[in-house]
Amino acid sequence: MDLGLDQLNSTLIEMANLSQAAVAASIEAYVKGGKGAEVKEMSDRLQGLHRQVSDLSVEMIARYQPVASDLRFLKACLEISYGFFRYGRYALDITEVLDIFGDLRKCDHGFVETTAQKTQEMIRMSVEAFSRRDVETARKIVALDDAVDESYRHNLRMTLEAKGNIRCSLSATLILRYLERIADHATYIGETVEYIATGVEPVG
């Protein structure tokens, strides 16, 4: 049982690092121009790791019939693994926006970059919260989630009012939507860390 738990933990840490790298690479491609081949590789790797976590978690539940904190941890592993996997998928979605709209380097990236920084901080905090089982850090993620949500809504209003270059506005709106979804997953991971520590189920 202990060996399996250690393996799950190490796999999730690998996923955490990989998902952070995928999101960072997608934003860099948006700002500086570039293709999504690297992000695609990382996203595929995250999908494979997510399957490993799912298979091992289910096997351990069936074999050992764990209770209390061990069962909570295994259940949480499934949720957290899915969150890290989704980070990678949304990073890939961001690069696909570049495929649709082409070179966006002449657009004003300031608003998206600011939102991306908040989102990447949420990712970092979600990883830290899981690694350390840090409930205090997990609870801080929610405040940042509200800021990312407002950034998305603000840009959407600007787009609807047709302010600025429509190509730049539409591409930014799509990317901000993906960042908003990443932020939602970071928030849920934070809630799941609290579940590991306290047994209180996430409400989202």
Q: Which pLDDT value is given to residue 162?
A: 64
Give the global pTM: 0.90
Rounded to 10 deg, the angle between the 110-132 and 166-198 helix axes is 10
The DSSP string of 147-192 is HHHHHHHHHHHHHHTT-S-HHHHHHHHHHHHHHHHHHHHHHHHHHH
Q: How far apart are CA 29 and CA 16, in angstroms?
A: 20
Please, what are the averages of pLDDT over each run of 10 residues along the chain (204 residues)?
87 95 94 85 97 94 87 91 96 93 88 93 93 90 88 83 79 94 94 87 66
pLDDT at 81: 96
Domains of the chain in sequence order = 2-198 (1.20.58.220)
